Structure 1
Amino acid sequence: MEVLSNLIAKGNEFLWSFLLILLLCGTGIYYTIRLRFIQLRRFSEGWKLVFGSINLHGTKHEKGEMSPFQAIATAIAAQVGTGNLAGAATALISGGPGAIFWMWVSAFFGMATIYGEAVLAQTYKEEHNGEVTGGPAYYIKAAYQGPLGQILSKLFAVFIILALGFMGNMVQSNSVGAAFSEVFEVANVNVPPIVIGLVVAAIAAFIFFGGTKRLAAVLEKVVPIMAGVYILGSLIFIIMHIGAVPNAIRMIFVGAFDPKAALGAAAGITVREAVRYGVARGLFSNEAGMGSTPHAHARAKASCPDEQGLCAMVSVFIDTFVILNLTVLVILTSGILGSAKENGITGIALTQGAFDAGFGSFGTIFVAFCLFFFAFSTVLGWHFFGAVNAKYLFGSDSAVKVYSLIVVLCIILGSTMKVDLVWDMADFFNGLMVIPNVLALLKLGSVVVNTRKLGKG
């Protein structure tokens, strides 16, 4: 395990120190300019499309594999997970408060990137045996035709299966197991994390084998409830500590450019680390540019690709600028960040500790149950994204069933692993899947721009 951990750490150093920051932010800036700041100009249209019943042409949404709301619920379910609760905490510890500023920057440009991803997913989707399917593997193949397109699309499919289906879901179960272990410890009850992993795996397996319609039906009900409960609890906490909010915001902006001034020289955090962890954890949270959520947008019945692009932007906004920011403000206003760093507390334990500062022991329970629903919905979304690619690679439903069984085993295994190794492995494979996806996004930029011109903007 130690050898594996060192290898993964070196791989992440190479990927996240320069290459992926350049690719992700560069692609976001490219699309922001070419689409004339679409994330500002047409955000309100996207909001109305997601939460209304009328499409861009003024008629009711057509029925399809997924409704626009179900597609956005699946996308948000994948985005809103441990990245919002545990990921924000690890970013604050590793990159300081300034990392959050770089999360915001990457998310803002990421809204333009994810517009492009959703448009391309709709444009290049296919129908097999009456079932609509699509995603980056399909538009990567179209972008680079011939042997290169085949190689890049299949590499992406392999990477996303490893990154989200296997490693990513290990992260989710790891955080859930750790959170509930804290709950049971408070009650002086010894329940090993693997027991929680088995419970999550059993419930997930029931939905995995129920198909897309069961998945969509579950997520469109779970996502609004889980988000609402967490938002309400976080707002109550922040209102209780409202006097500390201005300093928390100051720490974010100061820490982005001078981490030592925000946390003190002893923290040892540099601007480079703030940027690195901000972008890395931002990607893990909102997934813009990673190529995951387009699988859901490809399944939605849209009047035009532009419509799903606008919906996709809303999912990044909700994930980063609403839910993740609430976690950040809770941690920073709780006042425990400094002591947590000194004591080596990170991940979900830091988030629980922050809520404990305001809610007492109920804070641990509140975070554990919120995380369960967040992580569980992400498990469902990520399993779905991997399943699409398993079918793309092997072309059979039996291959998807084998894939699903492996995911179930990963959920169980992840609940028992060391938290740092699980996160590092997820970062590594997330980084690998970004590369072929971003290359296709850059190659097909004109397709996205022309689609936008056919819409209203």
Structure 2
Amino acid sequence: MITFLLGIGILYTFRLGFIQVTMLKQAFVQTFGGMFKKNPDNKDGISPFQALATSVAAQVGTGNLAGVATAIALGGPGAIFWMWVSSFFGMATIFAEAVLAQKYKEEKDGQIVGGPAYYIRKGVGSKWLAGFFAVSIIIALGFIGNMVQSNSIAASFDTFNIPRVAVGIVVAILIGFIIFGGIQRIAKIAEFVVPFMALFYIGGSLVIVFANFSGIVDAFILIVESAFNPAAATGGVIGATIKEAIRYGVSRGLFSNEAGMGSTPHAHAAANVKHPAQQGLVAIIAVVIDTVIICTLTALVIIMTKSYETGLNGIQLTQESFTRGLGEFGHPFIAICLFFFAFTTILGWYYFGENNINYLFGKKGISVYRALVLLFIVLGSTLNVTLVWDLADTFNALMVLPNVIALFILSPVVVKIYKEYKTKW
């Protein structure tokens, strides 16, 4: 799966002429130039920035905290270098996904819908493959994935000695209030919460980075050296090999920004833009925010506080690094961030699943889907998460395969749209 995701990113990088470099400035302008403008037609979709916020809501989650820590624990600091590599190529992939989502979107029951199921059916011409993708993402993200997120939220509140089931019920009530308002309400909440939660986390991380600023150059040197010679760079503290550094860095990077997985195109399809490539450029910025900024800051905090030498893994490693950097406030700081990161991911993943329920069953299936999602949120808060993670990984793989096949087949369409955009806009 890692090979497929990285391979499709390399393909699009070359076919689009390194778009993540040549069009990066225009991507920022397209994303933030009109962030305070209202959507010209509230009945038909959402604004480009709201689509970005909804996308980032899904992308920025527990992977940015626990996933980065796991990559470092198992692959060494050098895994972060390979995470950067995967995000670089992922920018080209996610541009293609957003472009295709825009091109093949449609209006259904008064709502703009789109995503891989639609461009697989209409672009590739395979109803079976489109249906296979739809079922996979509903299970992977809508049900099992959201169980993982609610479990993470409940676990983060162990610090405050609050029963996990109580946390699950409260989260389900809050999510229910939002999702029954449809994509417009989800987008408005994401538009408000995502910038706040990102800035809060970035601010806390920068406090630690600047407090240890004398070691920032050494941290970057360690990351680069460890990418090619982990044992020598870490003095044998971490028994990682180059293969492990690449494996965990690339996989955690791709699964954090979700480039090529087929999830974020649902948000970008709903954006109201004049040309598909415009939303493709916005999608690139989502990867910049998720991996280049937030994941990198997590990595710097772990490395600069020397927490990676403790032998801890996952969220425990992240908590240890922020406790070392912020003192007693470090633990509740991570608990708060984990709550917002996981909560907004539930919103994004719910919406992606709803799109595919709509594709398979129409509007009549959405009420049942909402009820099941809320039930899974409560259940997820009480369960042992190991099995749930394994199931989520399995269904993630099942949804990636049809999406990557479609991206490969439809690459000429993406290239044609991009060339048209460069000529006329």
TM-score, with structure 2 as normaliser: 0.94
Higher mean alpha-carbon deviation, 426-435 vs 363-372, is at 426-435
| TM-fit CA distance, 1:61 | 6.5
Q: Does 1:400 align with 2:366?
A: yes
Q: Does 1:373 align with 2:340?
A: yes
Q: 1:78 touches 1:380 (CA, 8 Å); kept in 2?
A: yes
- Matched residue type, 1:409: L
Name the residue aligned to 1:16.
none
Counterpart Cα distance in 2 of 1:424 and 1:270? 24
Q: Does 1:178 align with 2:132?
A: no
Counterpart Cα distance in 2 of 1:425 and 1:258? 33
| TM-fit CA distance, 1:291 | 0.7
Name the residue aligned to 1:41.
22
- Matched residue type, 1:41: T
| TM-fit CA distance, 1:264 | 4.4
- Matched residue type, 1:355: F
Name the residue aligned to 1:76.
56
Counterpart Cα distance in 2 of 1:247 and 1:420? 35
Q: Does 1:447 align with 2:413?
A: yes
Deviations 1:143-196 (A, max 9, x none): 332xxx111111111111121112221221222222221x22xxxxx3233322
Q: 1:72 touches 1:296 (CA, 8 Å); kept in 2?
A: yes
Query: CA RMSD, aligned part only?
Result: 1.9
Higher mean alpha-carbon deviation, 309-318 vs 425-434, is at 425-434
| TM-fit CA distance, 1:134 | 0.5
- Matched residue type, 1:166: F
Deviations 1:255-301 (A, max 9, x none): 22222223444633222222222222112210000011110111111
Counterpart Cα distance in 2 of 1:99 and 1:60? 40
Cα pair distance change 1:253/1:424, threshold 3 Å: farther
What secondary structure, in the 3-state scheme, does the structure 1 residue paired with 2:112 have? strand
Higher mean alpha-carbon deviation, 159-168 vs 103-112, is at 159-168
Name the residue aligned to 2:249.
278
Name the residue aligned to 1:429.
395
- Matched residue type, 1:67: S
Name the residue aligned to 2:145.
168
Q: 2:129 aligns with which of 142, 147, 152?
A: 152
Name the residue aligned to 1:126.
106
| TM-fit CA distance, 1:377 | 0.8
Higher mean alpha-carbon deviation, 129-138 vs 438-447, is at 129-138
Deviations 1:196-249 (A, max 9, x none): 222212211111212111111111000111111111111011111112322322
| TM-fit CA distance, 1:323 | 0.9
| TM-fit CA distance, 1:123 | 0.5
Counterpart Cα distance in 1 of 2:375 and 2:313? 26
Q: 1:61 touches 1:302 (CA, 8 Å); kept in 2?
A: no
Q: 2:9 touches 2:93 (CA, 8 Å); kept in 1?
A: yes
| TM-fit CA distance, 1:96 | 1.8
Name the residue aligned to 1:22.
3
Cα pair distance change 1:409/1:272, threshold 3 Å: farther
Counterpart Cα distance in 2 of 1:52 and 1:156? 34
Q: Does 1:50 align with 2:19?
A: no
Q: 1:416 aligns with which of 372, 382, 388?
A: 382
What secondary structure, in the 3-state scheme, does the structure 2 residue paired with 1:378 have? helix
Name the residue aligned to 1:203.
174
Counterpart Cα distance in 2 of 1:216 and 1:400? 18
Q: 1:317 aligns with which of 262, 284, 288?
A: 288
Q: Does 1:237 align with 2:208?
A: yes
Counterpart Cα distance in 2 of 1:263 and 1:210? 51
Cα pair distance change 1:144/1:455, threshold 3 Å: closer
**Structure 1 stretches lacking a partner, 5+ long:** 1-19, 185-189
Q: Percent identity?
A: 55
**Structure 2 stretches lacking a partner, 5+ long:** none
Counterpart Cα distance in 2 of 1:61 and 1:403? 28
Name the residue aligned to 2:12.
31
Q: 2:39 touches 2:46 (CA, 8 Å); kept in 1?
A: no
Aligned length, in residue pairs: 421
Counterpart Cα distance in 2 of 1:108 and 1:328? 17
Deviations 1:86-106 (A, max 9, x none): 111121112221221111111
Q: 2:198 aligns with which of 221, 227, 230?
A: 227
Name the residue aligned to 2:275.
304
Deviations 1:59-111 (A, max 9, x none): 99743411011000001111111111111112111222122111111110000
Q: 1:53 touches 1:61 (CA, 8 Å); kept in 2?
A: no
What secondary structure, in the 3-state scheme, does the structure 2 residue paired with 1:268 have? coil
Name the residue aligned to 1:97.
77
- Matched residue type, 1:299: A
What secondary structure, in the 3-state scheme, does the structure 1 residue paired with 2:193 have? helix
Counterpart Cα distance in 2 of 1:251 and 1:429? 35
What secondary structure, in the 3-state scheme, does the structure 2 residue paired with 1:127 have? strand
Name the residue aligned to 2:315.
348
